[in-house]
Amino acid sequence: MIIGIDIGGTKCAVARADDAGTIQATKTFRTTTCQETLENIMAAVAELAPGASPLFGVSCGGPLDAQKGIVLSPPNLPGWDGVPVTQMLTERFGGRARLMNDANAGALAEWKFGAGRGTRNMVFLTHGTGMGGGLILDGRLYEGTTGDAGEAGHIRMAPDGPLGYGKPGSFEGFCSGAGIARLAKGRIPGMPEPTAKEVAEAAEHGCPEAIAVMNESGMWLGRALAILIDILNPEMIVLGSIFMRSGHLLEAAMRRELEAEALPSALAACRIVPAQLGERTGIIAAVTVALEAFLNGGAPVA
């Protein structure tokens, strides 16, 4: 029995899947404090009846010590300081557990079962509450020396700007959900502290200030993607949550910046597409972590 656990900055999901990866049941809940969220994860696992020797795949935003299964103070999970999540799971439920950066897990899932099927060089960006990245290079997941490869959200794009990944003016600061909310703060009439979703909805309804915020975020998105295209020369970049929902509000500004900044030949060879696994990308990715770690890749079915 596989148990996939997706730990996100705003919500978590826990799923039970069979050994072929077919998801049988899922429970979701909001991410609150570290302690309460861990209690909710354990309760959800128990409710899903994991059996005597479950295989856990845990997907979580970094930084992590993936080898030891420890969550190390991710910027979008305040209070998660040195949490030995895999040990906690196996001590309570038995079995084996593997922790992976959510962006690496998402990259594997989209590469094997989603938009990136058939590619050899693919970049996956979570483009959600934060901006994590996962790299598929030459037909395999590339994790780097310490498992931190692909953390493009940490790149400083400007000397100053919205805070993201602990760094003002970062890619995450300008383009993540939390970053868009910070970028829009005080700029949209009647919305002193809007969420990214509210900014996108206002832009959909023609609010010029909201449209300006989305154009600004789209411009920085294009500039960051141009850097990735020039350095990695991928054949595809897959963008997650925000681009899946609101890509049409970002694309014109993104494309203008890409055409101005990226090498023309590399840009021509690269498709930029929304994640195909939809809002279930995170939980399918968590199941994929267990499949890859322990069963060598069955195909999860949502």
Residues 6+ apart with CB under 8 A from 216: 174, 183, 253
Q: 1 near 19, Cβ under 8 Å?
A: yes
Using the predicted structure, report yes or no on whether residue 297 has a pLDDT greater than 60.
no
Residues 6+ apart with CB under 8 A from 168: 160, 161, 162
Give tens-digit pLDDT for 245-280. 999 999 999 999 999 999 999 999 999 999 999 878
Mean pLDDT of 56-85: 92
- Token pair, residue 48, equals 């899903």
Using the predicted structure, report yes or no on whether residue 170 has a pLDDT greater than 80.
yes
Nearest to 49 by CA among 5, 24, 14, 16: 16
Whole-number pLDDT of residue 253: 98
Using the predicted structure, report yes or no on whether residue 300 has a pLDDT greater than 70.
no
pLDDT category at 61 given cuts 50, 70, 90 is: confident
d(CA 292, CA 285): 10
Count of residues making up the chain: 302
Using the predicted structure, report yes or no on whether residue 36 has a pLDDT greater than 60.
yes
**pTM attached to this predicted model:** 0.86
How far out from the chain centre does Cα 158 lie? 23
Which residues, listed in sequence order, are joined to residue 101 by a DSSP beta bridge? 60
Mean pLDDT of 271-294: 92
Whole-number pLDDT of residue 9: 85
The CA angle 4-6-10, to the nearest 5 degrees, is 155
Mean pLDDT of 128-139: 92
Strand 70-72 versus strand 140-142 pairing type: unpaired
d(CA 125, CA 104): 9
Whole-number pLDDT of residue 114: 94
Give tens-digit pLDDT for 195-208. 999 999 999 999 99
- Token pair, residue 60, equals 């979580």
- Please name the residue ranges forming H helices in the chain: 34-47, 85-93, 102-113, 171-175, 177-184, 196-204, 208-232, 241-261, 264-268, 281-290
Domains of the chain: 2-105+279-295 (3.30.420.40), 117-276 (3.30.420.40)
Whole-number pLDDT of residue 302: 47
Considering the chain, what is the average pLDDT of its residues?
94
Give tens-digit pLDDT for 226-240. 999 999 999 999 999
Using the predicted structure, report yes or no on whether residue 165 has a pLDDT greater than 90.
no
Which residues, listed in sequence order, are joined to residue 17 by a DSSP beta bridge? 2, 23
